[in-house]
A and B are shown apart, each in its own frame.
Chain A
Amino acid sequence: MVTPMLDRRHAVRLLLEPRGDMLVVCGLGSPTYDVAAAGDDDRNFYLWGAMGGAAMMGLGLALARPDRRALVVTGDGEMLMGLGALATIGVQKPANLAIVVLDNGAYGETGMQASHTARGADLAAIARGCGIARALDVVDDDGLTALAREVRVAQGPIFATVRVGATEHERVLPLRDGVALKLRFRRALGIG
C-alpha cells in the first residue's frame, strides 16, 4: 500500500464525535482501545474475544433497534475471521448498520504479522461483492468526514475500510466484564 496512512485514534475520534445516539460494537484488540480512547460510553460494547463476531453482533443489534444507528468498529484481522458475515449482512441489508474496518494490514495484538489485506485482499471489494452497495475506501480526512456523516444519516448497510497506519498507541483498556458491559448497554437503552 502506498497511500498515506491515517492515524487510527484520530479516525475513531472523528467518527464518534458527536456521538449522538449511536450504538457501537467494537472488535477485539486495537479497535476496542481506540473506541475507549475516544471516550467511554454505556452504549459501547467492547469485545475482548469472540473474534469474527463483531459484524454479526452489529446485525443482531441493528435488526433489534431499527430506530437507532448501529456502528461496528473493528480491525482487518477480526473482519477476515468472519467474512461470511458480509454475505449475511448483504442479504439482510439493514438500513441502520455501518461497519467500519480500521485496516492497518496487520495483526497488532500478536506481533504485527502482515494480514491478508496487506497482501491484496480488498475488504471493501468483498463487501461490495456480497451485496453491500455502499462500500467505501477511506484514505484521508475528507473521506473520514464524509464517512462520519454517512454512518449517521445515509441509507445502509454501509461498509468502509479506513486505511490506518501500523503505529501502535498506548492501550486504553475499558471495562472487560462481559456481564457488566451487557447490563449497562441495555440499561442505557431502557431495557430492564
Chain B
Amino acid sequence: MSDAWPDRIFAALKRAGVSQVGYVPDAGHARLIALCHAEPQMRAVVLTTEEEGVALAAGAWLGGARAALLMQSSGVGNCLNMLTLQRNCRFPLLALVTMRGEWAEFNPWQVPMGQTAEAALRLADVVVCRADAEADVEPTVEAALDIAFGAECAVAVLLGQRLIGRKQW
C-alpha cells in the first residue's frame, strides 16, 4: 500500500508543511483521512459541511499555518459563498475533490453536482487541476500545492471517479 495514491498525496501534504486537514467523511478519501489522523504533525478536523473547511483554511493562513480540504464533488456546491473569502482576501486554499457522478455512477443524485463541480469552482475563481490516472496524482497535487501556497490562490484538484473506482452496491 505504501505507493497507493492516497499515500502519495499524504506525503506531498507533509512535505509542503500542511498542518490542518479539514474533511467531510468520504469513501474516496478514507485512507488519506486515516493517514492524517495518525500523523502527529497534522490536525485532522472533521467538518459538518465543506464550507467550514474553506473558513478553517483562511483562519489557518491568518495564523501562519497551511490547511487542506478533503471533500467529494457534491460538497463543492456547499462552498460557494464561503469562497468569497479566498477571492476577496487572496487566502490560499487547496481542496482535494473526489469526483462522483461522472464515471460508472449508479446513483443519479450524484450526477448533477458531479457534472457542475468544475464549472462552479471556476466561477468562484478557483484554479482547477485534474488527475484521472494514478501516475498523475502526485505531480498534480504537488503542482497545486505550489499554486495554492506559492501564488496564494484557491486551487482544487479533481480526482476523477475512474481513479477512485466503481462503487460496489
Contact = CB atoms under 8 A, between A and B. Distances in A.
Contacts of A191: 63-64
Contacts of A62: 59, 63
Report which residue of B20, B63, B82, B89 has the largest number of chain A beta carbons within 10 angstroms of its beta carbon: B63
A189 B52 contact: no
Interface residues of A, number: 36
B114 to A, nearest CB: 23
Nearest to B67: A60
B59 A182 contact: no
Contact of A61 (B51, B60, B88): B60
A63 B20 CA distance: 8
Given A87-B48, A88-B45, A61 B63 contact: yes
Contacts of B46: 88, 91
B55 A50 contact: yes
Given A60-B56, A88-B46, A53 B51 contact: yes
Interface of A: 23, 25, 45, 48-54, 56-65, 70, 82, 84-85, 87-88, 91-92, 178-179, 181-182, 185-186, 189, 191
Contacts of A59: 45, 56, 59
B62 A64 contact: yes
Nearest to A176: B88
Contacts, number: 124
Interface in B44-78: 45-49, 51-65, 67
A65 B84 contact: no
Contact of B55 (A60, A64, A65, A178): A60
Contact of B20 (A58, A60, A82, A91): A60
Contacts of B45: 59, 63, 88, 91-92
